[in-house]
Structure 1
Amino acid sequence: MTLRIHNSDKVLRAPQAIIFDTDNTLYAYDHPHTQALAAAESKAVRLLGVDPGEVRNAFAQAREDVKRQLGKTASSHSRLLYFQRGIEILGRKTQLVITLDLEQTYWRTFLAHCELFPGVREFLLALRSSGIGTAIITDLTSQIQFRKIIYFGLDDCFDYVVTSEEAGADKPQEAPFRLAIDKLGIDPAQIWMIGDHPVNDIAGARPFGISTLLRVDRSHEAKGTGCDVEFDDFTELHHYFFSGKVDGIQKR
């Protein structure tokens, strides 16, 4: 697909700041997650002496249990809690050393398989050089999301980072958006939000009057999302933004 503009009134004027989601917006989440979970499960099989199928089922059940217990909060995404609960489901009681080992294995493997989408870094650097503010709103705990941003070498590309741990709630709840807006100190009508999730990112930002851009998978059209723009390529978004079509942005 190519970039699709659904509401030109919202995105033909330059924003003062752009807020980004992280997972599945700046990079593809599924592949590193699959590799990381496989590495953690394999280590659990070795350390606990349990059948691979039992480990897989226990960890899947643990994830459901933790999410049901904690609701839409940062800690509901905690791999540490998933592994702790999974080991307990396997009848091993709480095993702190193994739990920490599995969590470190998961994230070490995850980061080793992460790769930014093409054009992300160039777009962010161009925004910075043009004086456009930047921020992140992302679910999960602060430590691992900070680690991801640093791993990608993007820690100097954002003015502010808001995690759901800091805000006290996951998207699409109001708190993360309100906190990011307060940090930026900018009228929401002058902010764009770029994310991949029609509900968490797009529906969450819309009530504030923020212009919304949905990153979708290539050759996939996200219908009925209410977003102002759909795109699947940051390089194309970059070209559009600096093409002279966005009022207030110098053509490059």
Structure 2
Amino acid sequence: MIKAVLFDLDGTLLNRDATVASFVAGQYERLRPSLGHIPKALYMERFIDLDQRGYVWKDKVYRQLIQEFEIERVTMESLLEDYLAHFRFYCVPFEGLETILESLKAQGLKLGIISNGKHQFQMGNIDALGIAHHMNAILISESEHLRKPDSEIFYKALGRLGVDAAESVFVGDHPVNDIEAAQAIGMFGVWKPSSIQDEASFANAQIVKLDELNRIIETLNA
């Protein structure tokens, strides 16, 4: 019997591709006096490429941008400060996010998030999506001193929810950090791919839209 559903954040609940594109466009406009010598489309394209879907921290991204584009009127620290201060205002949820969370809670399921990243930054994004009140547990790697795919962060989440691995579903977009790691401790892994370059054919199930989770839970609890 499934008693809990846990989620990754970026690429699973948060549409990070859309969010990043919107943020970078906004940053360019805010700092146009310092960045205006760079074509906007090129600045956006290079940021997104260097960002590597969030797996490269932004100090490195901005250092590289400053070097490549010979940016002289704004520092890496100022660009990073702008990122930390404004990113949350551009957060885009995946379609049906609020509806699926309400549906799962109505079924009596406990909900949680396990996300790698900086605590304050990721909590700001969760608050921006307006979903914190739905969650029975939120674990961010920085504050837990653990990172996915370490099994301990999954066990810690299950402990806080008071459920066993076999009673839980984990939904994520990363084949190793999310799906393989969750399955390794006995959770049911649902893959929500965010890139055609990903491959997680070993997942227990795959979804395109969040509302497909209802069908999976219904099948598992039949």
Does 2:211 correspond to 1:235? yes
User: Which runs of at least 4 in structure 1 moved beyond 6 Å after TM superposition?
Assistant: 53-58
Which is higher, the Rg of structure 1 or of structure 2?
1
Alignment of 1:1-252 (within 5 A): 14-47=1-34, 51-52=38-39, 77-79=56-58, 81-82=59-60, 85-86=63-64, 89=67, 90=70, 92=72, 96-97=77-78, 99-108=80-89, 110-111=90-91, 114-118=92-96, 120-216=97-193, 225-242=201-218, 245-247=219-221
Q: How many matched pairs?
A: 217
With over 3 angstroms needed to count, the CA separation of the structure-2 counterparts of 1:51 and 1:236, relative to structure 1, is: closer
**35-44 or 123-132, which deviates more:** 35-44
SS of the residue corresponding to residue 25 of structure 1 reads coil
Question: Matched residues in 2 for 1:234 and 1:82: separation?
Answer: 33
> By how many angstroms is 1:77 displaced?
5.0
TM-score normalised by length of structure 2: 0.76
Q: Deviation per CA, 1:163-215: give whole Å up to 9, x if none.
A: 12123343223343233123223221221111122122101111111111112
TM-score normalised by length of structure 1: 0.69
> By how many angstroms is 1:106 displaced?
4.1
> By how many angstroms is 1:23 displaced?
1.5
Higher relative contact order (CA 8 A, sep 6+): 1
SS of the residue corresponding to residue 212 of structure 1 reads strand
- Aligned amino acid, residue 81 of structure 2: L
Among the aligned pairs, what percent are the same residue?
21
With over 3 angstroms needed to count, the CA separation of the structure-2 counterparts of 1:192 and 1:106, relative to structure 1, is: closer
